[in-house]
């Protein structure tokens, strides 16, 4: 799942946020990060978990704008 950040300086911060609970998080350029949850039982569950963690990160970083893009 792709996440886009408006502030490219926060890419490493968001990657670290996802890596702590065993997601994979790889910067792919342009303020975009590819997030996966290898042990997720389904694609729907993975999307829910990524979205939930993004909501937490956004709450902790109200000055930042991060959102999922695509499917």
The rounded distance, in Å, linking the Cα atoms of 61 and 13 is 10
**Digit-coded pLDDT (tens) for 15-69:** 999 999 989 999 999 999 999 999 999 999 999 999 999 999 999 999 999 999 9
Confidence of residue 70 (pLDDT cuts 50, 70, 90): confident
Torsion of the alpha carbons at 63, 69, 53 and 6, rounded to the nearest 10: -20
Return the pLDDT at 71.
59
pTM, two decimal places: 0.90
């Amino acid at each position: 799942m792709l996440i886009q950040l408006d502030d490219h300086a926060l890419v490493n911060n968001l990657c670290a946020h996802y890596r702590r609970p065993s997601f994979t998080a790889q910067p792919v350029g342009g303020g975009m990060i590819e997030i996966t949850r290898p042990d997720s039982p389904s694609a729907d569950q993975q999307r829910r978990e990524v979205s939930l963690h993004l909501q937490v990160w956004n709450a902790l970083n109200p000055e930042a704008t991060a959102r999922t893009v695509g499917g």
